[in-house]
Structure formats: structure tokens, C-alpha cells
Structure 1
């Protein structure tokens, strides 16, 4: 992660030193955009690995970090720890979600609000399958 962060720093400095009319400016902007994307994806993957949450389902969702965070808060260990709070090493879902939100510059409070609304005011009858997303959170 630190090497990607350093590459981002260098690319940003390079872009700052290119005059606005220079033909290489577009290349620098494109590179910077790719580096930002790679930084977010790698950072998200590193968080999942660090918290032992690097399953196929979560790794496939790296490109949609808001969806990933929502699915983390629906992790099966949450129900398990309510039934048996001792004796097992459960992943720290909240810490992972906070780190993923930070890496991807996502407002975690919006996701929490959406989840609270979903859980406390479901739009479907109990037991029915359905998902309710708040506007602007998952884009």
C-alpha cells in the first residue's frame, strides 16, 4: 500500500508540473485516475485480508465498496455472536467497514442510515425477499 501511495504522490506532483496546454497532461491525468482506482482496490483487498474476510463473495465486490460494506454488515458471524458471544474469534466487521470507507472516501454514516432504515422500517413483509437502497448511497 505504501508503494501505491508513493506512486500516487509522484503522479500528482508530475501532473502539477505539467503546463495546462502540454500534450502529456491528458496522459498524466489518465495515469493518476488509474492509480487512484488501483489504490482503492488494493487497499480494500488488504483490509479484507487483514480482517480475515477475503472470501470470494467479498473479493468480487471490491469494485463496489458501498455494496461491499453493506454485505459486511450482513455477515453471518453477526447473528452467530449474538447467540454465542464467547469462545470464537469473530471478524471485526465495523473496523473493516470503517477502513474500507476511508480508503474509498465513502461516507459511512449514509450507509449506516440506509441500513438502519432497511432493518427498522422494512419495505417488504417480514420473511419476504427484498432490498431497499437509499438514493445516492450505492452509486
Structure 2
């Protein structure tokens, strides 16, 4: 089930009146696998699929830029989340974010590394990825 299909934009805080042409934005889909066929359970009950729109001057991923906001907006648990992105320099390939927790006085923060998507993960998000192309 598709919980969200829309755009998230990274605004420039130092210049709130700046043109949107210089802001990064992503087409974001939040997918809930938990409502799918119970005979085929998914390891991760939710997925975020982020595809960067053209433009923007920052070289960053959606997970690194807006991940905390998206997780909060949809009340997602990082441990239950499959985060998939395509990057402008390799648009034909998908990557999965690996969130490694770091514990500190201010709470949990995550370090993000990337790995190529596995075949079963790609099959799980394929219907929604093809719809965003």
C-alpha cells in the first residue's frame, strides 16, 4: 500500500527567499508492505523510495538530507525501514541505505552507508519505482 507519493524539498535556510531552482528535491514514496499478502511477508514492513529531481546545487542523498524529517513525518522506525534511492550520476541503478546507530547524550544519530540493492529488494519496490520514472 502506498502511504505517500509526493515531493520533499531541501530548502536553503540561509536564504529563505532563494529560487527553488537551487534547492534539491526528491520524488518520495512511502510504501507499507505490512498490508500485503500475509503468505509473503517482507523482512522490512516499510520502504522509502526516493528519486532525485533534476536541478539543485547540493550533492547529497535524500536519506542524509531529509531522512530524519521523513521518518518523523510518517512515524517510521529505522530498524523496520528499507530506504532505496537512485542517484543522478547512476540513475539506472538503485542503492539501499544502511543505517548504523551512534548513541550519544542527545539521543540516537545514524551514520549512513550505501550498498547496491539486492534482487529481492528490487523486486519488492519495482512496481513503485517504475511508476516514478
Fold conserved (TM > 0.5)?
no
Higher CA-based Rg: 1
More helix by share: 1
Q: TM-score normalized by structure 1?
A: 0.30
Q: TM-score normalized by structure 2?
A: 0.31
More strand by share: 2
Higher relative contact order (CA 8 A, sep 6+): 1
